[in-house]
Each structure stands twice: as C-alpha cells, then as structure tokens.
Amino acid sequence: MREDHEELILRNPAYLACLLWNLARSFADNGSGRSPNLTHMVIGTSMLFHAASVEKIRAMKFDSGLLKALSDVPELVAGGQTRLEAALPTCLQALQLGVAARIIRRESGYGLPTFLALGTNLPKALRDAEAATGPGISAARRLGAWFAREDLATVRGRMGVRF
C-alpha cells in the first residue's frame, strides 16, 4: 500500500474514476446486470479513501462479503459518516469525469441515478496506469461484488452511515 494513498485519490479524480468504474463493473457482473446508484458510489468512495479499509478489503476473498470484513476489523466503520461526507465532492467530480471520458454512463431512473461501467475493460492507457495502484482496484472490485449481493439499506446499516 502506498504511503500517500489518500492523497493520491484526493488529488487525482481520474484515478478515482477508474476505481469507481471497477466498482460498477463488478457490481453489474455480480448483480445480474444491475448498476450501482449514487449512494453505492459514495459509500464505496469513502471506503476507498481509507487506506486501512483498502488494505483489509483487497486481501479478502470475493465470497467473504462486507459483513465478514466489518466483523474481522470493526474499526473500519469508525468515522464512516465523516469520511462519507468528506468523500462526496470528490466522488461527484470523479463520476463527472468518468462520464465525460465515456468510461461510465449515468442512467436516470426511479430515485437516484445509477452508473454503468462502459465496456468490459478500461481503455488500454488507463489499464497500463493502474499497475502501481493494484490494491485500490482489487478493493473496488470486491466492494462492487459485495454491494451487489446486499440491499442498500443493509449496506448503509452495516457501515453506520445516513443520507
């Protein structure tokens, strides 16, 4: 894990857009083609900003689930609401960049917008750039899979966050 993990993401919305693309792709792959909504993306961003969460999540198996991660390391939810509120502006900026770059498509529907990862892979230039940031990509993929398996109210409850 890089020492400047949080700074890397906060100062690089393009990197966060790639992480959110991976979260959305994994969500769709594990959720029968459904797309994550804005709430999923903000919760995911708040966890991806937190180096300890990334380190724990990336080391787990896809089948483990969010409940196991939080029961193994309950301090991952400490400060979750504050992290979530701080993550919102950067998450929105990264989603906007992802939509403008055409790696993510915003879809309207009932309630909050959802975000579809376009393509089965990121463009080659972005895939090449992600080699040094593997832990974040792995964590984003696991979060997408875990979020797809649980309803949003359960995810919010486990994370102890309110909107």
Q: Is the pLDDT of residue 76 over 60?
A: yes
pLDDT at residue 7, rounded to an integer? 66
How many other β-carbons are positioned within 10 Å of the β-carbon of residue 150?
16
- pLDDT tens digits for range 106-154: 998 778 899 999 998 888 777 666 555 588 899 999 999 999 999 999 9
- pTM to 2 decimal places: 0.88
Look at residues 54, 79, 75 and name the one whose alpha carbon lies nearest to residue 140. 54
Spatial distance between the Cα atoms of 38 and 108, rounded to a whole number of angstroms: 11
- pLDDT tens digits for range 44-60: 999 998 888 888 898 88
